[in-house]
Amino acid sequence: MKNWMVLFMVAALVTLVNQDACAWGKKKVENKREVVKPETPYEKLFKGKKCETAKGKFITLHKVGEKLYFELPLSYLERRMLLASTLTGASDNDLGEVGYKSNDPLHIKFTKTDSTIYMRLVNTAATYNEKEAGMRKAYERNFMDPMLKAYKIMAYTNDSAAVVIDMTEFFAKHNEMLPALPDNVGGFISVSASPNNDGFALRDIKAFDDNVSIKTDMAYKVSMSVLGMFTIRSNDPVSVRVTRTLLLLPEKKMRPRISDSRVGIFLTDKINLSTEEDQIQTYSLAHRWRLEPKDMEAYKRGELVEPIKPIVFYLDDAFPELWREPIKEGTMRWNKAFEKIGFKNVVQVLDFPKDDPDFDPDNLKYSCIRYLPSTTANAMGPSWVDPVTGEIINASVLVYNNVIKLINNWRFVQTAQIDPSVRNKKMPDEIVKESIAYVVAHEVGHCLGFMHNMAASAAYPVDSLRSATFTQQYGTTPSIMDYARFNYVAQPGDKGVRLTPPDLGVYDEFLVKWNYQPIPEAESMKEEAAILEKWVDEKAGDPRYRYGCQQVASRYDPSALEEDLGDDPMKAGEYGIRNLQYILKNMDQWITGDDDGEHKEALMESLMEQYFRYLQNVRYNIGGIYLTRVKEGTRGEKYQAVPKAVQKASLAWIIRQIRQSDWLNNRELCKKLNLQVSAAPIVQDVISGELLKSYKGVILSAHVSQDPYTLKEYFNDLYNGIWENTLKGKKLTSGDIILQTALVDMINGMVGEKTKKSSLFGLSKMASVEEMVAYGLDESGMMRKYMDILKNIEDEKGTDYVTRQIHPDAFGQGYGWQREVSVKAIDNSTTYIVALAYRIKSLLESKLSSVDSATKDHYKMLLLNLNRALKV
């Protein structure tokens, strides 16, 4: 009994111990399961993969092989951003500029519906009157934000604060919304880029507090053609590297500034929904940096204060050393104007940081001054804005290497008559620095939001430009934003005359005041606009503050031209031609060490182009109409025909110049150049064609004038001028022969049977290729490069064909160029042209028996064409 009891108790104890062990074991297993939790979709997405992560306060980027993931915080949904693509590297810089954004940044936001993230384009075309209850509904129904892309949510982060979406296709593949290459160059060269998928590779990723950047290598097969007619490249391999930046825009918006069409500021157009007027209202916002005083109270007391956020440019470390200081000087000279409105140290220039791994000149966050080793002879100053307010977010100054060649040619043909230091193949360092500073200051003006003002240089009397006192104070123009280059009016012997434009003109200082002076007393955008309008009203009628739009396609106003000086193009031209004759006479002795003659040939081309501009500047007087933005009730006229006497004198002046331009044929110099046609007949031929199309302007000019220069008078003056030596029985000059031939060709094209050239003499006011090149209207430089092809197209299609393809509606950026005015309803030119044909026919027939054999042959050829035209 006792033994049995002992055995029973032992067995029970063993059972109890075993039960406790199982229970402990189970508990241990259960605890282990709680520690090793199941993997989340977020963790599975990156498990076992080589992942490079760039983390910032904004968006986190994950690069997994060739995949790119955005980790987008939900707190940034509906926030507005700019998405920009910048060319970072290229195998062919003819197709794009490194550091440039060939397309405006996309203004986007992300939204979420269920399990999908949508990338939407923000529609900023319209605003509405918030006081009118129905306008918000109308706005929301009619101005939705269009959807660009939809992305499936791949995972939420473990804290559910952000979502992960796959952005590989958008950033690491060919994307038409973020093109790596432009679809055209210069507006007339079409570019077809077929992606080579083997050459696409995702590179660097970076993330910051308010932006992310992604670099991608891309490869294409590129074909190019001129207006679809001439193939210039076919399936050439091209590789590029691009940097895409997604930048968060500030939540607190800058107060916009409503533009004024009398002030040359870049702008963004808007419409406003309101019943305040009996129509949809249109207005524009000026482009401007957000410039606010650090200490508003000190600013109000009249003290100079620094801005909260200065305008900082980073200077490319690739620039030639000689250029660096003048670039800085030209950039920061705008601080003089800012100081006049109470700011100091506004514009700053810093070198590219050498020890900052986060710095990236192609990131939208940084504004830079970039060096482009290209044969293009140009510089640019583009900027990009927040479309809601017009706030400039980023700007770049792009300086092409061969701008130095352009400066060399300008300084020689415009100032060598008075400045011995430029009579060299290579410009002295001081001249280079002086000129580079001017070029950069002009481009920085664009970066500040300022458009070209081509009317500025017409404000100063021509003879004032020969005055040392006047030019030392005012330079050559009231605005550096004009294309008024160097002082070609100054004559040999004029002492102490300034040869360069001003550091900044009075108009430039007014631009800074209008665009950037804070107006703290104004409580709204409209109150501010009323104050600004009064500032402009006060300047109305003062030619120094007159704004003249750049006439890119249709050219009507002879006082708003590029590359001119002074208020009288005939007088300025006389001075300029005198200087060109002096320069040409001495060029061969001045320019030495040019064994192959290449530099002399380039200078000769520049001299011919300069002479062409002098003649063309006067030609614009014929049928010209002065155009001025005028507010009702202030001084000035919106449009005013060039006075009749000036038009008549201009016509006679040009014919005289064509007849007397044989001085261009410097035979000794030409022997040292490549085989080519002499300069005089080239210029005579081109300017004859320009002169004969002047009647198109005369039609409209006469129509709006109180004392018109009529078509009848124009054709009569044309007849008496072109046939003067024939009428007087004098020997014809080469200019006479070219003019007479051109006139008969025009008649044949107008009233004869249709020929290939008949379209040359339509009623278009569009610029020719010659004008586009001579006046710097083609910033790409490609029009000059393909001049021969384009002129052949003009011969086939008409003198306005090329320009019409580039600018089909004659409108452009800013307030728009003058629209081409149709004069079809009032055109009776055929009547006068037919009468002119019979008059010339009668004259030539009467002279056949009294001229030498060569002249007789010339007249017979003209009579043959006239008889064909008149069907005699």
3-state secondary structure of 162: strand
- Asked whether residue 121 falls in the same domain as residue 19, the answer is no
Residues 27 and 57 in one domain: no
Q: Tell me, yes or no, whether 6 and 138 share the same domain.
A: no
811: confidence class by pLDDT, cuts 50, 70, 90: very low
* Domain shared by 24 and 143, yes or no: no
User: Is residue 97 situated within a structural domain?
Assistant: yes
The domain boundary, picked from 212, 230, 249, lies at 249
Range of the domain at 119: 53-249
* Domain-located, residue 210: yes
As a whole number of angstroms, the distance between CA 496 and CA 493 comes to: 9
3-state secondary structure labels for all residues of 201-244: EEEEEEECCCEEEEEEEEEEEEEEEECCCEEEEEEEEEEEEEEE
- Residue range 322-331: mean pLDDT, rounded: 97
For residues 91 and 149, membership in a common domain is answered with yes
pLDDT of residue 33: 52
The phi, psi pair for 317, rounded to 5°, reads -80, 0
Q: Would 135 be classed as within a structural domain?
A: yes
Q: How far is CA 17 from the centre of its chain?
A: 90
Q: Per residue in 651-706, pLDDT tens? A: 999 999 999 999 999 888 888 888 888 889 999 999 999 999 999 999 999 999 99
Q: Are residues 26 and 66 in the same domain?
A: no
- Is residue 102, in this structure, part of any structural domain at all? yes
pLDDT of residue 262: 93
Q: Within 10 Å of residue 73's Cβ, how many Cβ atoms?
A: 15
Taking residues 313-321, report their average pLDDT: 96
> Where does a domain end: 194, 221, 249?
249
Distance, CA of 23 to CA of 412 (rounded, Å): 101
Whether the pLDDT of residue 4 is over 60: the answer is: no
pLDDT of residue 329: 97
Give me 537's structure tokens.
Answer: 């009203």
Is 160 inside any structural domain?
Answer: yes
Same-domain pairing of 76 and 157: yes
Burial class (CB in 10 A: 0-12, 13-18, 19+), 735: buried
* Mean pLDDT across 779-790: 85
Is residue 140 pLDDT above 90, yes or no? no
How do residues 38-84 score in pLDDT, each as one tens digit?
889 999 898 888 999 999 999 999 999 889 999 999 999 999 999 99
Q: Which residues contact residue 572 at a Cβ distance below 8 angstroms, ignoring those fewer than 6 apart?
A: 462, 465, 488, 489, 564, 565, 566, 614, 617
Q: Quick one: how far is CA 366 from the chain centroid?
A: 20
pLDDT digits (tens, 9 = 90+) for 97-133: 899 998 899 999 999 999 999 999 999 999 888 888 8
20 and 95 assigned to the same domain? no
Position 22 scores a pLDDT of: 36
**Is residue 146, in this structure, part of any structural domain at all?**
yes
- Taking a C-beta distance cutoff of 8 angstroms, is the pair 510, 540 a contact? no
The predicted-structure confidence for 495-529, as pLDDT tens digits, reads as follows 999 999 989 999 999 999 999 999 999 999 999 99
Buried b (16+ CB within 10 A) or exposed e, 461-483: ebeebbbeebbeebbbbbbbbbb
- In which residue are the tokens 């959807």 written? 147
Question: pLDDT tens for residues 366-424?
Answer: 999 999 998 888 899 999 999 999 999 999 999 999 999 999 999 999 999 999 999 99
**241 and 168 within one domain:** yes
Confidence of residue 765 (pLDDT cuts 50, 70, 90): low
Whether the predicted pLDDT of 753 surpasses 80: no
Beta bridge partners of 120: 109, 147
Q: Identify whether 113 is part of a domain.
A: yes
- Residue 815: what pLDDT? 56
Amino acid symbol at 846: S
- Domain count across the chain: 2
Instruction: Give the domain-ending residue among 214, 233, 249.
Output: 249
Tokens 């590779």 locate to 201
Mean pLDDT value across the chain: 90
Q: Give CA–CA dist 615/395, Å, rounded.
A: 37
pLDDT of residue 247 exceeding 70: yes
Q: What is the pTM of this model?
A: 0.91
pLDDT value at 15 more than 80: no
Closest by CA position to 724, among listed 661, 677, 656: 656
- Which residue, 271, 256, 277, 132, is CA-closest to 522? 256
Q: Report the half-sphere exposure of 789 (CA within 13 A, side-chain side).
A: 15
> Given the DSSP bridges, would you call strands 155-156 and 625-627 parallel, antiparallel or unpaired?
unpaired
Vertex 178 angle, CA 176 and 182, to 5°: 75
**What is the share, in percent, of the chain residues with pLDDT greater than 90?**
71
Q: Is residue 171 located within the same domain as residue 211?
A: yes
- Residue 164 falls within a domain, yes or no? yes
Q: 96 and 23, same structural domain?
A: no
3-state secondary structure of 809: coil
> 24 pLDDT exceeds 80?
no
Report pLDDT digits (tens) over 403-416: 999 999 999 999 99
Q: Where is pLDDT greater, at 787 or 163?
A: 163
- Do 114 and 20 belong together in one domain? no
